Amino acid sequence: MLFSRSSLFSWISPLFLVTLLAIAEIGLVVSKPPIKIGQGYQLISVEESSDGGIVGLLQVKKKNNVYGPDIPYLQLYVKHETGNRLRVHITDAEQPRWEVPYDVIPRDKPAALKKPIFKSRKNQNSVLPLASSQYETGTNELIFSYKTDPFSFAVKRKSDGQTLFDSTSDDSDPYSNLVFKDQYLEISTKLPKDASLYGLGESTKPHGIKLYPNAPLTLFTTDVSAIYLNTDLYGSHPMYMDLRNVKGEAFAHSVLLLNSNGMDILYRGDSLTYKVIGGVFDFYFFSGPSPLEVVDQYTSFIGRPAPMPYWALGFHQCRWGYHNLSVVEDVVENYKKAKIPLDVIWNDDDHMDGHKDFTLNPVNYPRPKLLAFLDKIHAEGMKYIVINDPGIGVNESYGTYQRAMANDVFIKYEGKPFLAQVWPGAVYFPDFLNPKTTEWWIDEIRRFHELVPIDGLWTDMNEVSNFCNGLCTIPKGKQCPSGTGPGWECCLDCKNITKTKWDDPPYKINASGIQALPGYKTIATSSLHYNGVREYDAHSIYGLTEAIATHKGLQALEGKRPFILSRSTFVSSGHYAAHWTGDNKGTWEDLKYSISTILDFGLFGVPMVGSDICGFYPAPTEELCNRWIELGAFYPFSRDHANFYSPRQELYQWDTVAESARNALGMRYKLLPYFYTLNYEAHISGAPIARPVFFSFPTHTEFYDLSTQFLLGSSVMVSPVLEANKTDVTVLFPPGSWYSLFDLTQVIVSKETHSVTLDAPLHVINVHVYQNAIIPMQQGGLISKQARMTPFSLIVAFPSGAAEAQAKGKLFLDDDELPEMKLGGSSSSYIEFYATVSNATVKVWSDVQEGKFALDNGWTIEKVSVLGLDAVHISSLGIEVEGETNSDASQVELSQTQHNFITKMDDETDELRTGMMVEVKGLKLPLGKQFTMSWKMGA
């Protein structure tokens, strides 16, 4: 039996687990709908809308009852919202339908038809007041065109004429024209066979980041462990990026279907079909054309990623099973003894009184001792985070429950709070669509913070997860739960709910990999939220709405920048929270899968993401844990987390793992300025912190399916060992010069893309810096607060042996407790670094914006390492600060080291193998002032 804190399938027999996993891996689907459903719709009128878009009326061509009756009339609305974003919205023309609430994801409402009399237009010929069958505006990059009978539409990019989306269905196509029923919507698009697609999650994709044809893609937030492949998991992100290489040029665009209902998506390689069980078609197209521009455009719409506090980029330690406070104290002390960096200590539900939210166990976590412990670690700069589940224990003596009942905040079934079971036993679920719920939740966070001064919240089980099925009551005459056996076994008295079309819809998505009914192990989908909203429609936005309320609650405490880690996510969750990839296994396969999931969430606008290091369960091998911390040290969110039933796996438990941790985390803590600047770039432009290699090398198709390496920012490449018993790793290097971050004298140089096998002993991970980059670093430390106050250094990477070259980098610093992350005033500084080599002269300089914050903190640059120079003699060193000659230049030390070329490529000439590293030490350059440093070179 596999033991998981929250796995949906933990209670199922091992044989069924094996069968289910096999189904998920090979993509079997037991039954699917007929391929062709109906004849589509006819566009019978179209005109300009009041807001500058177009609005049209569609009429069904021939009704049928497959999955229910067709909706007879639809409204089409199309609008260029920005120069690179196009919206296409299709809904019932006569009745309002569920949409993702406009106050949850803010956006404009579509313009409406001018009150058409539908019957009078029946069987009319097309009435087309527009001059042509396409819609475009002067500066918009996207063109919308349509056909009237049967209706279809296409979206093209104006600058290159590429068709990005085409819903036409020909007789030879294996999919229908537009289908729009109450509980079944279908639309498809043709695709070039060589298009590379990414996204459409959350799921664990065994083949890597690139989508494979015919792999199951089901979106419906579900408590299913991440170990299950090709299965709908905790989040729903109906967004994909399409990357194409046309005659050696790269073009990317993105498509979002903003719909929270459950859906299957069938990708055939040359087409993609959406099969959705409710809501509307609300498409957003983002023109790109580069991958970074796509994410910029996407996050400008859904909400920029939340700014993270500096300490959140440090290392985190958690475990389900820290039975009392003394264990937590020992963990913190042992990290210090082992000299392994640690910023944040976490509690799973061990700190709670009977697993109840916002409570403290008075025996195992006595408040006076806990407060003393927190005073101690807070003084050192460490932080403390606890878990919080949405299920509120049904307990008359429980204050949180009493106040919730008084405010009437729970999701209802037939007028009563819907009863479920999670860790406390019987629970009700808060309805975060109700404004009163947010007020109550904020107050509960405030009350708990007064009890325990936490530094963030971890919102788990918020898909939501329910250990029971159907309509339940609390059993009489027996304890539930009993306190013995697995806590996830349902002990309520329950009966199935299948009497409504919401509980048993006509079309069955491939939920949980077994076509489970949508209320399986969650809230009954006929339950009601505020204002009569059905759980059927709102299910997948639960985690998002909880994150919004939690963000408000944390920010209201002391006006500080919140930190939230959420398991369930939806479109725009990254605007409020970080994410981890859920219940993984301590296996080599799961180590590899973690990279793809992390890269996916960068596309989804959730850049602060990581995976449970060493695996959540069962016990990892010592070798695996070595390799996992080497990789996990470079996750954006870096946390070790283990299961209650697993042996202890803190990084100091093995001497070898401790050594690997000191090496890898030691480098992470030196790179914290770089990580934090990437955090800032993510916040202002959506740029992922961890990103696929093709983001920086989009014209190289070799990287389109690369999922065993990744970039941090644009210029640092991480290449981990992902297999057992390996002491080397084969790395695919893009053309150019790549310098080892752990030994700057080592360099890989090539004119073409090359695979190189590099040494990777047990304690080594290969991390390389690319040419033309400047990387800001500090000296590191055991806590980010300490590391942050050490002197800075710069790595300046030129192409090896180049006589003419340039490099650039940037650095953002701020008061990370402020809720906003922005430039301006005295609470932040932004520095751009530049370097050139030309005419045998090296020049390095800075351009400072808002330098006061850096000056107030006393930060200085003490060392500059310049890589790739082609001469050995240095003369005429000059240093100026704010235009004045630096009198301390006489104290500066210069050293030169020959680069070590790791291997010789077939295309490599001798001139590529001439390179020196020059280090300038002893500097005291104020980071908040502009400086210039230069010297002459000679043979």
**Type of residue at 575:** H
Cα–Cα distance list, 496 to 412, 428, 524 (Å): 17, 18, 9
Residue 533 three-state SS: coil
Residue 829 three-state SS: strand
| Residue in 681, 858, 668, 854 with CA at minimum distance from that of residue 778 | 668
Active-site residue, selected from the candidate residues 99, 232, 357, 460: 460
Question: Does residue 583 have an active-site annotation?
Answer: yes
CA distance 110 to 284: 13
Question: Does 735 sit behind a cis peptide bond, omega within 30 degrees of 0 on the bond before it?
Answer: no
How many other CB atoms are found less than 10 A from the CB of residue 725? 6
Question: Does residue 463 have an active-site annotation?
Answer: yes
DSSP single-letter state for residue 751: S
Cα-flanking dihedrals φ and ψ of residue 843, to 5°?
-135, 130
CA distance 350 to 387: 9
| Maximum C-alpha span of the chain | 92
- What angle do the packed helices 542-558 and 435-451 form, to 10 degrees? 50
CA distance 172 to 9: 41
Q: Which run of H or of E encompasses 811?
A: strand 805-814
Q: Which residues contact 316 (CB under 8 A, 6 or more apart)?
A: 342, 343, 344, 345, 346, 385, 637, 638, 639, 640
Q: Which residues contact 49 (CB under 8 A, 6 or more apart)?
A: 55, 77, 79, 111
**Type of residue at 175:** Y
First to last CA, the chain: 69
Quick one: CA torsion of 436, 437, 440, 444, rounded to 10 degrees? -170
> Measured at the alpha carbon of residue 714, what is the angle toward residues 708 and 718, in degrees to the nearest 5?
30
* Token reading at 162: 């590429």
Residue 833 · residue 848 · CB < 8 Å: no
Give the β-pairing of 792-797 and 860-869: parallel
CA distance 787 to 779: 6
Active-site residue, selected from the candidate residues 463, 503, 590, 612: 463
Active-site residue, selected from the candidate residues 232, 583, 590, 908: 583
Residue 834 · residue 807 · CB < 8 Å: yes
| Dihedral sign, Cα of residue 386, residue 232, residue 307, residue 340 | positive
Cα–Cα distance list, 918 to 117, 868, 935 (Å): 79, 9, 11
Residue 626 · residue 658 · CB < 8 Å: no
Catalytic positions: 460, 463, 583
